[in-house]
């Protein structure tokens, strides 16, 4: 059984006195020492000894912070942190975030503050690169959509939803195969999120998180179209799950405002109604026919 070793006592080194110095001290008047530096017996102690004693006391009485100062703000959830205590650190301005992940951290910070404040979440800070801003938001959408996918699994299975549909008019083909073909809705969801993760983490197209080329930004609209279909299937075929998730996150509302703001999707492909933001065209009037795909 491991034991806690006691700290060893500080070693005191005694040097041989200088005889000449001692004689000089005997003939000189006593020195005035600062007040308060007295030993328990009432004798004065040298300032050097007192300072060393205070330093030793500070070192032995201070708690062990594992190398972190008590005043240091640790911006991470340590192992064992309760869910109610997650993210308990003060907000930072984007310009004060000294990391290549600053934009992602800033977006997540604003979302935690109020996930329903879509306008604030999507308000791009001054001097921020628009391409990086769009890229980081799409990454965040995909991460949060994984939670919706988990919720759908309780009732959306290969047996209950054999096709990826949104109403009877919309059937989506999965682009994760050599030739686009039909997938069950839950498999389509998994394949789409996996494909989006592979693209957005690709060193070929997105080697940097601070500088993104226009050729790479051009790939974002197709990813937006595909991940949006997860919203549409959940809305039309698993409405209670969709409503519960949307009440907590406002994710579909935020996504709709996002793609309209940056022209990443055409309005006619947005078939989930968002009050105050978007009213979709009637499904019967759409030119999109069952079985077609723009993958």
Residue 252, annotated as binding a ligand: no
- Distance separating alpha carbons of residues 208 and 278, to the nearest angstrom: 34
CB 276 within 8 A of CB 250: no
Contacts of 269 (CB under 8 A, 6+ apart): 225, 228, 288
Residue 278, annotated as binding a ligand: no
CB 210 within 8 A of CB 127: no
> Which backbone phi and psi does 288 adopt, to 5 degrees?
-80, 120
The overall longest dimension of the chain from CA atoms, in Å, is 112
| Helix, coil or strand: residue 257 | helix
171-203 in b/e burial notation, b at 16+ Cβ within 10 A? bbbbbbeeeeebbbbbbbbbbbbebbeebbeee
- Distance separating alpha carbons of residues 110 and 116, to the nearest angstrom: 10
**β-bridge mates for residue 181, sequence order:** 174
Cα angle: 240, vertex 245, 246; to 5 degrees? 100
Residue 33, annotated as binding a ligand: no
Residue 156, annotated as binding a ligand: yes
Three-state SS for 161-220 is CCCEEECCCEEECECCCCCCECCCHHHHHHHHHHHHHHHHCCCCCCCCCCCCCHHHHCCH
Q: What does the block give as tokens for 264?
A: 């990443």
- Distance separating alpha carbons of residues 89 and 76, to the nearest angstrom: 9
Q: State the binding site.
A: 156, 161, 233, 238
Q: State the binding site for Zn(2+).
A: 156, 161, 233, 238
């Amino acid at each position: 059984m491991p034991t806690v070793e006691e700290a060893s006592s500080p070693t005191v080194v005694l040097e041989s006195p200088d005889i000449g110095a001692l004689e000089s001290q005997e003939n000189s008047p006593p020195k005035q020492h600062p007040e308060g530096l007295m030993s328990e017996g009432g004798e004065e102690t040298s300032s050097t000894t007192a300072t060393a004693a205070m330093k030793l006391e500070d070192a032995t009485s201070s708690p062990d912070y594992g190398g972190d100062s008590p005043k240091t703000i640790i911006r991470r959830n340590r192992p064992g942190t309760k869910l109610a205590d997650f993210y308990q650190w003060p907000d930072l301005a984007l310009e004060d975030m000294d990391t290549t992940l600053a934009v992602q951290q800033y977006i997540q910070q604003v979302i935690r503050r109020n996930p329903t404040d879509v306008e604030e979440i999507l308000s791009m800070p001054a001097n921020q690169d628009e391409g990086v801003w769009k890229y980081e938001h799409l990454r965040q959408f995909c991460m949060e959509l994984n939670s919706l996918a988990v919720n759908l699994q309780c009732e959306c299975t290969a047996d209950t939803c054999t096709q990826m549909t949104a109403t009877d008019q919309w059937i989506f083909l999965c682009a994760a195969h050599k030739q686009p073909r039909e997938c069950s809705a839950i498999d389509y969801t998994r394949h789409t999120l996996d494909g989006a993760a592979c693209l957005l983490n690709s060193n070929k197209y997105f080697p940097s998180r601070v500088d993104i080329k226009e050729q790479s930004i051009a790939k974002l609209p197709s990813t937006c179209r595909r991940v949006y279909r997860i919203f549409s299937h959940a809305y039309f075929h698993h409405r209670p799950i969709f409503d519960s998730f949307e009440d907590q996150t406002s994710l579909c509302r935020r996504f709709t405002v996002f793609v309209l703001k940056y022209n990443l999707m055409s309005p006619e492909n947005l078939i989930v109604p968002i009050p105050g933001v978007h009213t979709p065209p009637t499904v019967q009037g759409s030119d999109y026919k069952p079985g077609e795909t723009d993958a």
